[in-house]
Amino acid sequence: MQLSTKHLLGIRDLTPQDIQLILTTAGHFKEVLQRPVKKVPTLRDITIVNLFYENSTRTRMSFELAEKRLSADVMNFSASASSVSKGETLLDTVNNILSMKVDMVVMRHSASGAPHFLAKHIPASIVNAGDGINEHPTQALLDAFSIQEKLGSLEGKKIALIGDIMHSRVALSNIYLLKKMGAEVMVAGPPTLIPKYMKESFDVEVEYNLQKALEWCDVANVLRIQLERQNQVLFSSLREYNLAYGVKREVLDKLKKEIVIMHPGPINRGVELDSDVADSKQSIILQQVENGVAVRMAVLYLLAGGNANAN
């Protein structure tokens, strides 16, 4: 089987079959990553550039490791250390890189739609590593893989996305993916951080009470408060946000069941998530990071034209 698309621009464009193929292939690669020799020759002779116009720790390192595990040739580009500071455009930058015979571009950009723009203008496959407040497809794929690994399946599971829904590309990609795969989705947080159109446009539950959201869900995916994307005051203070919407031990202890805690990182400890929850055995945050490598190996392999036999 092959993906129905040449690029991974967003979960919105994927079919449920595409998503299942990526998750199944990631399972094969996770098995490869448990072996003493973790490297496979699958993408030998493929050159990939990681084009990061916005800061990243997890996504960037995870893509680079995935590419190296697949034996691809890897180039890393940081906008802050490049000729972008001299005024070079995105298209000129990429065309210069492509003239060095690059096959795939992994791109993070603060502008929503930047990877879609590139895909229209260059022949290489583009992988969106997060664009503005639009999508972060590989984060949603690794979140789904981690939920499946923990709970056995996505179908019928209740997933609450908690916090700054308005500015979160992770939220949008998760909503598209989870709905396509038959999960029930709730968005929860303060009314000022949840767009008014969520229920009508995305067919998700909306809840403004944290305790009720946690009682409803099997999995709480707690999202970072994105202060860098907020140009107006949307809640009174970080301390008050933590009091009303911070996921903390005493809130979880009131529940009748043990729920799974996720967070895409980086965590604002003591704001959206307290340390005694983030570091508890209920949390699968570091498993999410581990699974990110296998998921990104699967995406790169499939976009390069592979099939489901990962080894």
Which residues contribute to the site for ligand CP (CB under 6 A)?
56-60, 130, 136, 139, 264-266
SS3 per-residue string spanning the chain: CCCCCCCECCHHHCCHHHHHHHHHHHHHHHHHHCCCCCCCCCCCCCEEEEEECCCCCHHHHHHHHHHHHCCCEEEEEEHHHCHHHHCCCHHHHHHHHHCCCCCEEEEEECCCCHHHHHHHHCCCEEEEEEECCCECHHHHHHHHHHHHHHHCCCCCCEEEEECCCCCCHHHHHHHHHHHHCCCEEEEECCHHHCCCCHHHHHCCEEECCHHHHHHHCCEEEECCCCHHHCCCCCCCCHHHHHHHHCECHHHHHCCCCCCEEECCCCCCECCCECHHHHCCCCECHHHHHHHHHHHHHHHHHHHCCCCCCCC
In terms of CB distance, is 80 or 236 closer to ligand CP? 80
277: Cβ contacts below 8 Å, ≥ 6 apart: 247, 248, 249, 252, 261, 283
Task: Provide the minimum distance between the beta carbon of 101 and ligand CP in the complex, in angstroms, as a whole number.
Answer: 27
Task: Provide the minimum distance between the beta carbon of 62 and ligand CP in the complex, in angstroms, as a whole number.
Answer: 8
In terms of CB distance, is 18 or 131 closer to ligand CP? 131
In terms of CB distance, is 278 or 310 closer to ligand CP? 278
In terms of CB distance, is 136 or 296 closer to ligand CP? 136
Task: Provide the minimum distance between the beta carbon of 265 and ligand CP in the complex, in angstroms, as a whole number.
Answer: 5
In terms of CB distance, is 110 or 280 closer to ligand CP? 110
In terms of CB distance, is 122 or 267 closer to ligand CP? 267
In terms of CB distance, is 40 or 278 closer to ligand CP? 278
Specify whether the CB–CB gap between 75 and 48 falls below 8 A.
yes
Task: Provide the minimum distance between the beta carbon of 174 and ligand CP in the complex, in angstroms, as a whole number.
Answer: 12
Task: Provide the minimum distance between the beta carbon of 81 and ligand CP in the complex, in angstroms, as a whole number.
Answer: 17
In terms of CB distance, is 296 or 310 closer to ligand CP? 296
In terms of CB distance, is 266 or 305 closer to ligand CP? 266
Task: Provide the minimum distance between the beta carbon of 175 and ligand CP in the complex, in angstroms, as a whole number.
Answer: 16
Among the listed residues 117, 138, 110, 127, the one whose alpha carbon sits nearest the alpha carbon of residue 26: 138
Q: What are phi and psi of 152, to 5 degrees?
A: 95, -35
253: Cβ contacts below 8 Å, ≥ 6 apart: none
Task: Provide the minimum distance between the beta carbon of 171 and ligand CP in the complex, in angstroms, as a whole number.
Answer: 12
Task: Provide the minimum distance between the beta carbon of 196 and ligand CP in the complex, in angstroms, as a whole number.
Answer: 26
Task: Provide the minimum distance between the beta carbon of 154 and ligand CP in the complex, in angstroms, as a whole number.
Answer: 20
